[in-house]
Amino acid sequence: MAGDETRIPRDPADDATADAAAARREFATRRTGASLRHVGSFSLDPATTPGNVEHFIGAAQVPIGLAGPLLVDGEHAKGEFYVPMATTEGTLVASYNRGMKLVRAAGGVKTTVVDDGMQRAPAFIFDDARAARAFGEWLDVHIEEIRAAAEATTSVGRLERIERYPAGPAVFTRFVFTTGDAAGQNMTGKATAAACAWIHESYPGAAIRRFYLESNMATDKKHSQVNTLRTRGKRVVAEVMLPSALVESQMRTTTREMFGARLISNLGGLMAGSVNNGAHSANAIAAIFIATGQDVANVAESQSALVYGELRENGDYTYSITIPSLIVATYGGGTGLATQRECLELLDCYGPGKVRKLAEIIAATVLCGELSLGAAVVANEWVSSHDRLGRNRP
Touching a second copy, residues 66-125 (CB under 8 A): 66-69, 75, 80, 82, 84-94, 97, 110, 112, 114-115, 121, 123, 125
CA–CA–CA angle 38, 39, 45 (5° rounding)? 115
Phi, psi angles (nearest 5°) of residue 300:
-55, -45
**Which of 243, 252, 296, 351 lies at the binding interface for a second copy (CB under 8 A)?**
296
Task: Report if residue 356 touches a second copy, rule: CB under 8 A.
Answer: no
Q: Which of 181, 295, 301, 370 is catalytic?
A: 295
Separation of alpha carbons 145 and 50, rounded Å: 35
We find the least distance from the C-beta atom of residue 284 to a second copy, in angstroms, to be 8
Cβ proximity to a second copy: between 310 and 352 the closer is 310
Let me know how long the chain is: 394
Other beta carbons less than 10 A from residue 9's beta carbon: 15
**Which of 18, 23, 39, 206 lies at the binding interface for a second copy (CB under 8 A)?**
39
Among 318, 315, 284, CA closest to 302: 284
**Whether 327 contacts 294, CB under 8 Å:** yes
Residue 140 falls in the annotated catalytic set:
no
Among 116, 98, 88, 28, CA closest to 286: 88
Secondary structure class of 162 (helix, strand, coil): strand
**Which of 35, 143, 152, 205 lies at the binding interface for a second copy (CB under 8 A)?**
35
Residue 386 falls in the annotated catalytic set:
yes
Q: Which of 11, 89, 127, 310 is catalytic?
A: 89
Touching a second copy, residues 211-270 (CB under 8 A): 211-217, 219-229, 235, 237, 239, 256, 260-261, 263-270
Question: Judging by beta carbons within 10 Å of its beta carbon (0-12, 13-18, 19+), is residue 88 exposed, middle or buried?
Answer: exposed
Residue 387 falls in the annotated catalytic set:
no
We find the least distance from the C-beta atom of residue 166 to a second copy, in angstroms, to be 4
Separation of alpha carbons 75 and 360, rounded Å: 8
**Which of 26, 148, 274, 351 lies at the binding interface for a second copy (CB under 8 A)?**
274
Touching a second copy, residues 138-197 (CB under 8 A): 165-170, 172, 193, 196-197
Query: How many residues sit close enough to a second copy to count as binding (CB under 8 A)?
Result: 174
Could you list the active site residues?
A: 89, 295, 386
